[in-house]
């Protein structure tokens, strides 16, 4: 029964996508039926920066095709290949990086905390999937929001906003040090979430129970989600994003914002924060509640709403 449904979905999908008509339908059906468990994880965690859609000047990172080729040259069997990917992503350092041009152009990949078992799936997906080169796509290929489920849309909005903010922050820390980056966050963080909102016609907020900027304070509903998710984290479980559909057909989507080592330069304990950064924070935010965090804690949530 389930198989029949899947087939139905695959066939319906194929019939809406004219480019595939030329291809061998049986082969595609086989491939689509066996969706790799790492695919959704890759799309949620990596695709916002490593996609094959963004053209050269809009890129945040090298496309995965280029990374895969570089890693396959360096690591010829599949075990060392996946191990090297997992090793880099768990802890990106300049020494481990193979792609010196990318390093120069984009700066070192931001450290992010992913569960080990997710990375295993993602690395295996990268090893098996045939990635496209951006130039294989039409120049204007938009991300096809229409064909996404509401959950996928929410994840896309959250991860692309995070990617833009993360890139700017990372770049500023490299260029101007933590103090310079602080001035940037103070002036521009709100502006960036705004520009993403305008681009996608959705309301994107970054809210918290312990605000630095009082405008980012969670409302009651959001505060409840934060409380629940803190319990999930302290039970050692993984937080799943939350989608609510409203009676008027609109959606609310929530996803966690977790700290990593880099965040502690400005959100860590008073010992983690450099004295001059501490001073600047005291001046800019006399009522700052956003220090004292460790790595891997819930700093806040994305709260996203669209009609
Ligand atoms: C916020 C943007 C961003 C996200 C999200 C991201 N990356 Fe990256 N990644 C980069 C950038 C920038 C580089 C290029 C600079 C470098 O090599 O560190 C990179 C480089 C890499 C490299 C090659 C590193 C080298 O030079 O050897 C691998 C492998 C990689 N990423 C894997 C992943 C995987 C897997 C995910 C998802 C779990 C992911 N990345 C998510 C930005 C990102
Ligand atoms: C260079 C210093 C700096 C770093 C590094 C930094 N932040 Fe912030 N963060 C700030 C400042 C300043 C604000 C207040 C921005 C404003 O006024 O809107 C802020 C605000 C926030 C907010 C909005 C809620 C609030 O308290 O106002 C979140 C969520 C947040 N940061 C998460 C993070 C995470 C997660 C990281 C690491 C990936 C990080 N930050 C790294 C300086 C920093």
Q: Is the CB of 306 within 6 Å of ligand 1?
A: no
The region, left, alpha or beta by phi > 0 then psi within -120 to 50, assigned to residue 12 is alpha
Residue owning the nearest CA to atom 40 of ligand 1: 46
Looking at ligand 1, which atom is closest to the CA of residue 60? 12
User: 271 with 287, same domain?
Assistant: yes
Domain with 47 in it = 37-136
Ligand 1: centre distance to CA 215 (Å)? 32
Residue owning the nearest CA to atom 5 of ligand 1: 46
pLDDT at 96: 94
Ligand 2: centre distance to CA 100 (Å)? 29
Decide which of 76, 105, 136 is a domain's last residue. 136
User: 105 with 161, same domain?
Assistant: no
Decide which of 75, 102, 136 is a domain's last residue. 136
User: 110 with 156, same domain?
Assistant: no
Q: Which of 213, 222, 294, 302 to mutate to test the pocket of ligand 2 (most atoms within 8 A of CB)?
A: 213
Rg of the chain in Å (alpha carbons): 21
User: 170 with 116, same domain?
Assistant: no
Q: Is the CB of 98 within 6 Å of ligand 2?
A: no
Looking at the CA of 222, name the nearest ligand: 2
Q: Is the CB of 304 within 6 Å of ligand 1?
A: no
pLDDT tens for the 307 residues of the chain, in order: 343 333 333 333 332 333 333 333 444 344 444 678 888 788 777 877 787 766 565 577 899 999 999 999 999 999 999 999 999 999 999 999 999 999 988 888 877 777 888 899 999 999 999 887 765 544 344 567 778 889 888 888 887 777 777 777 777 787 788 888 887 777 666 665 666 667 667 888 899 999 999 999 999 999 999 999 999 999 988 889 999 999 999 999 999 998 877 788 999 998 889 999 999 999 999 999 999 998 889 999 999 999 8
Looking at ligand 2, which atom is closest to the CA of residue 208? 24
User: 26 with 165, same domain?
Assistant: no
User: 5 with 44, same domain?
Assistant: no
Residue owning the nearest CA to atom 30 of ligand 2: 299
Q: Which of 50, 51, 68 to mutate to test the pocket of ligand 1 (most atoms within 8 A of CB)?
A: 50
Instruction: List, as one string, the DSSP characters of the chain.
Output: -HHHHHHHHHHHHHHT-GGGGGS-HHHHHHHHHT--HHHHHHHHHTHHHH-SSS-GGG-SS--HHHHHHHHHHH--SHHHHHHHHHHHHHS--TTT---HHHHHHH-SPPP----HHHHHHHHHHHHHS-PPPGGGS-TT----GGGS-HHHHHHHHHHHHHHHHHHHHHHHHHHHHHHHHHHHHHHHHHHHHHHHHHHHTSEEEEEBSS-SSGGGB--HHHHHHHHHHHHHHHTTPPPPPEEEE-TTS-EEEEEEEE--GGGHHHHS-TTTS-HHHHHHHHHH-TT-------TT-EEEEEEEEE-
Give how many domains the chain has, as a whole number. 3
Residue owning the nearest CA to atom 11 of ligand 2: 185
Specify the pTM. 0.61
């Amino acid at each position: 029964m389930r198989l029949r449904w899947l087939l139905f979905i695959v066939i319906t999908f194929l019939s809406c996508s004219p480019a595939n008509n030329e291809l061998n339908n049986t082969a595609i059906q086989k491939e689509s039926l066996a969706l790799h468990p790492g695919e959704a994880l890759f799309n949620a965690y990596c695709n916002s920066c490593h996609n094959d859609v963004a053209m050269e000047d809009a890129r945040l990172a090298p496309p995965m095709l280029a990374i895969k080729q570089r890693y396959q040259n360096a690591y010829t069997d599949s075990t060392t290949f996946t191990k090297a990917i997992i090793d880099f992503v768990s802890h990106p350092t300049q020494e481990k990086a193979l792609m010196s041009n990318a390093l120069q152009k984009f700066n070192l990949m931001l450290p992010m905390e992913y569960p080990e078992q997710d990375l295993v799936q993602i690395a295996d997906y990268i090893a098996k999937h045939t990635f496209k080169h951006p130039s294989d796509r039409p120049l204007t290929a938009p991300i096809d929001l229409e064909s996404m489920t509401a959950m996928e849309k929410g994840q896309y909005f959250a991860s692309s906003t995070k990617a833009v903010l993360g890139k700017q922050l990372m770049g500023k820390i490299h260029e101007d040090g933590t103090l310079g980056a602080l001035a940037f966050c103070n002036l521009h963080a709100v502006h960036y979430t705004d520009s993403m909102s305008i681009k996608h016609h959705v309301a994107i907020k970054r809210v918290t129970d312990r605000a630095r900027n009082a405008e980012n304070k969670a409302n009651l509903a959001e505060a409840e989600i934060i409380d629940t998710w803190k319990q999930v984290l302290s039970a050692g479980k993984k937080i799943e994003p939350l989608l609510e559909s409203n009676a008027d057909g609109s959606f609310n989507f929530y996803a966690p914002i977790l700290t990593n080592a880099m965040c502690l330069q400005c959100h860590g304990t008073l010992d983690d924060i450099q004295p001059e950064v501490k001073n600047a924070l005291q001046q800019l935010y006399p009522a700052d509640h956003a220090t004292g965090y460790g790595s891997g804690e819930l700093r806040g949530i994305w709260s996203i709403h669209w009609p």
